[in-house]
Amino acid sequence: MNYLAEVWLNGEPLGTHEGGHLPFEFDVSGKLRREGNLLVVRVDGELAPDRVPPGGASPNLPEITWDQQYPPASFDFFPFAGIHRPVMLYSTPSEAIADLTVRTTVNGAEGRVWVKLDTTAGTSGTARFLLQGHGGDVRAEAPVSGAGVETELRVPGAALWGPGAPNLYRLTVELVRSGEVTDRYSLPVGIRTVEVRGDALLLNGKPIYLKGFGRHEDFPVVGRGLAPAVVVKDYALMQWVGANSFRTTHYPYSEQMMDLADRLGFLVIDETPAVGLFFAEPGLERRLNLCRQYTREIVARDKNRPSVIMWSVANEPRSKRAPAKPSFRALYDLAKSLDQTRPVTLVSDLWVEEESFEFLDVVCVNRYMGWYRNPGQLPAGVATLSNDLDQLHAKFGKPVIVSEFGADAVAGHHAQPPEMFSEEYQAETIKRHHDLFHTKPYMVGEHVWNLCDFKTGQGTRRVGALNLKGVFTRDRRPKMAAHLLKELWRER
């Protein structure tokens, strides 16, 4: 639901939930009629400065309006409002599995799967754990007593999960009481480790380089509404160009998208909806509370996914005001307290001035050389970028990902020599950036902005209210840059 949902059952309020893109639920036990139930959801999509992401017309707050677009918002994508994903009614027994947390480690050839089971209050009996797949079942059993149960399953000769080999096991957990199974839940498990060591990002102990995109949940007619065929198509396109990763710019993607990342072996930087955050009043504390809520919700939803290798707590915050650094420190600490197994980052366009990189695990930066900077002058832009990247690494001493770079291109518009908005200029931009990045040993990833053209607000820089930085068009046809990426990324 985007942005704020109020829910009623048979005229009785069930509750509200603020923020889009993350699931929420209400308990309707004892409230359902035998027939003729009416569930009503009212969605409020108003843009306001104390919401996250922020928006709304506010002449005194230049920080929130992005490039004077209409509708006014602190971000560059269309603020689609409504019910974008499925609403489900489901039932559980009173003694039930409430949550599962899975963590995996690797010790030589042995994979270890640690599972924590939380049950509803008062549950008793036995918990059975079964891990299946890749030539051997592993079982464990433990008594259930109130709070929950932990166990570790050891998998000799484990088939590890990773791009190119997305090996998944199936974990089934059962609650058993007096010989009867009272509840059962299954989920896919990928055994893998993620670690930042020095300048490297390690997957299963080996350095990994991210090749991929920022993207949007956006398609003609359906807007941000879940369109499963588009999800499948986007993976097919990403595989065709040889991408191994993406960032969920600038909000958590659908569970269907995430399920396929696990199955197809994509590495995901999972980003909360905190885009365009600013640190002036009014509404600062309210916005920060929402960021904390989103961090808890995204970790709760995606913590068991092998594809998620990193959390991103913000995109391009306006971090120059004093509250920014302590606020991000608190969000970083919160994410780490919820999940000690994954690196935490934020994505910045402030580079060395983004002080929070002092404590974040990976440095993710966006920059548009040859476009917003040095327009039309790619060689000069890329030379400056080389220097800026070295300075960034010298200051923070951490692995660097350029999480956005690129250029708008009008499909079918050509120019030789390459000029801005031509397909040639976009391809040339990507080629020069890619070649530069591969001279920098501390770089661990490049994400092109964007996979596809997407709808945004109206403004002087956005012809047709579209951002045209896609290497595919909005209806998923390749531009020259897509063919180029296929050459660049498939060879390494």
Q: Provide, rounded to whole angstroms, the least separation between the CB of residue 182 and ligand BDP.
A: 47
218 versus 339: smaller Cβ distance to ligand BDP: 218
218 versus 302: smaller Cβ distance to ligand BDP: 218
Can you tell me the distance from the alpha carbon of 365 to that of 409, in angstroms, rounded to the nearest whole number?
A: 22
Longest dimension (CA), the chain: 78
- Kindly state the tokens that stand for 239: 């595989």
Can you tell me the distance from the alpha carbon of 314 to that of 279, in angstroms, rounded to the nearest whole number?
A: 13
Q: Provide, rounded to whole angstroms, the least separation between the CB of residue 413 and ligand BDP.
A: 17
248 versus 315: smaller Cβ distance to ligand BDP: 315
154 versus 461: smaller Cβ distance to ligand BDP: 461
Q: Provide, rounded to whole angstroms, the least separation between the CB of residue 399 and ligand BDP.
A: 20
Using the structure block, give the residue that is written with the tokens 């991210």: 210
Q: Which residues pair with 100 in a beta bridge?
A: 117
Contact 14, 8 (CB under 8 A): yes
For the annotated catalytic residues, the residue numbers are: 316, 404
Q: Provide, rounded to whole angstroms, the least separation between the CB of residue 431 and ligand BDP.
A: 19
| DSSP β-ladder status, 308-315 and 344-348 | parallel
Q: Provide, rounded to whole angstroms, the least separation between the CB of residue 217 and ligand BDP.
A: 13
Amino acid (one-letter) located at 153: L
442 versus 449: smaller Cβ distance to ligand BDP: 449
Rounded to the nearest 5 degrees, what angle is found at the Cα of 266, between the Cα atoms of 264 and 267?
155
Q: Provide, rounded to whole angstroms, the least separation between the CB of residue 409 and ligand BDP.
A: 12
251 versus 311: smaller Cβ distance to ligand BDP: 251
Query: Could you list the residues that contact ligand BDP (CB under 6 A)?
Result: 76, 250, 315-316, 349, 366, 404, 449, 467, 469
Can you tell me the distance from the alpha carbon of 68 to that of 48, in angstroms, rounded to the nearest whole number?
A: 15
| DSSP β-ladder status, 206-207 and 210-214 | unpaired
CB atoms inside a 10 Å sphere around CB 36: 6
Residue whose beta carbon is closest to ligand BDP:
76
104 versus 319: smaller Cβ distance to ligand BDP: 319
Q: Provide, rounded to whole angstroms, the least separation between the CB of residue 476 and ligand BDP.
A: 18
